[in-house]
Amino acid sequence: MAPLDGQVAFITGAARGQGRAHALRLARDGAAVVAVDVCAQIESVDYPLASKEDLDETVRLVQDAGGTIVAAVADVRDLDGLRAAYEEGSRRLGVPRIVVANAGIMPVGRFGNDAPAAWRDTIDVILTGTWNTLQVAVPPMIEAGEGGSIVIISSSAGLKGHTDGSGGWDAYTAAKHGVVGLMRSYAWLLARHRIRVNSVHPSGVPTPMTLNEPMSDYVNSHPAEFARLGNAMPVLWLEPEEIAAAVAWLVSDEARHVTGVTLPVDAGAAFV
């Protein structure tokens, strides 16, 4: 028997990268998956965001692994649209007892007149998007009365200060700190319902959000800032599957008494 047999997981930002890795790992552990992604470009983001074809590929990979998945295009910034996608997935698969709030963006190099849009979009996707995810998923979890587990994907940037003064980096660091506040608050709020809430804090992960030309240009032009993003251990990247393994543990019964925790999976980046 797989550790998550009979459970349903709701995952945002699931079309590629970490979100896809979470969907695959939880499906292999027995969970049915409700997957959403915006599948559209956000103007302040210079690198290409996920497409509908990317989301379809996540569906194919989960199904090829023997899993069950319902996927929908939904923007975490749009509470009503996100709720509609969640409710359709719940209707088809059951109420999710696992939630992975993963959706995020990382604009870089947005200064001057470009800074406000990058700030607004990043805060809206990461912080407001996480809050929207909680608004959609928590009430049905409470009503079901069977407990559950929520994992918010933060960052090593959510545990230490980092920015180049641009709107995107300011917002990324602020939002990744902000979701920790949400996590701790909801961990306290939901403990009485046996719903656990934790955050995971990766350092660099090789996904399209980090492996792109704007990020490469940033690294080359800001060596001091990049150095502070480095890992203490002699590894350059954490693979998406390694982050998914931490998520899988947190949502499993093995972590049934773990709540309110900021879990670094970062090769020591938080204390560099």
| Other CB atoms within 10 Å distance of the CB of residue 63 | 12
Q: Hey, what are 199's tokens? A: 């955050």
Residue 229 has pLDDT above 70, yes or no: no
pTM, to two decimals: 0.95
267, part of any domain = no
Percent of the chain surpassing pLDDT 70: 97
For residue 42, which phi and psi values (nearest 5 degrees)? -110, 130
272, part of any domain = no
105, part of any domain = yes
Provide the terminal-to-terminal Cα distance of the chain, rounded to the nearest Å.
41
Q: Hey, what are 175's tokens? A: 């939002």
Q: Hey, what are 203's tokens? A: 């350092």
161, part of any domain = yes
Sign of the torsion formed by the C-alpha atoms of 262, 265, 271 and 272: negative
- Which 3 state secondary structure label does DSSP give 158? helix
82, part of any domain = yes
Cβ atoms of residues 7 and 30 within 8 Å: yes
Which of the four pLDDT bands, split at 50, 70 and 90, describes residue 210?
confident
Q: Hey, what are 13's tokens? A: 């930002």
Angstrom distance (rounded) from CA 58 to CA 90: 19
Range in 44-48, 95-99, 178-182, 197-201 the model is least confident about: 44-48
**Distance set, CA 244 to CA 7, 17, 20, 98, 177 (Å):** 17, 10, 9, 13, 20
Q: Kindly report, residue by residue over 120-155, the tens digit of the pLDDT.
A: 999 999 999 999 999 999 999 999 999 999 999 999
146, part of any domain = yes
Cβ atoms of residues 120 and 69 within 8 Å: no
User: Could you give the number of structural domains in the chain?
Assistant: 1
Residue 170 has pLDDT above 70, yes or no: yes
Sheet with 262-265: list strands edge to edge. 69-73, 32-37, 8-12, 98-101, 148-153, 195-202, 262-265
- CATH of residue 160's domain is 3.40.50.720
Which of the four pLDDT bands, split at 50, 70 and 90, describes residue 174?
very high
Residue 91 has pLDDT above 70, yes or no: yes
Cβ atoms of residues 42 and 13 within 8 Å: no
Eight-class DSSP state of 151: E
71, part of any domain = yes
pLDDT of residue 129: 98
pLDDT of residue 225: 64
268, part of any domain = no
pLDDT of residue 226: 63
Three-class HEC string of 47-100: CCCCCHHHHHHHHHHHHHCCCCEEEEECCCCCHHHHHHHHHHHHHHHCCCCEEE
Between these two residues, 205 and 34, which has the higher pLDDT value?
34
Angstrom distance (rounded) from CA 74 to CA 77: 9
Range of 167's domain?
8-262
Query: Which are the catalytic amino acids?
Result: 172
Q: Kindly report, residue by residue over 92-123, the tens digit of the pLDDT.
A: 999 999 999 999 999 988 899 999 999 999 99
Q: How many residues does the chain have?
A: 272
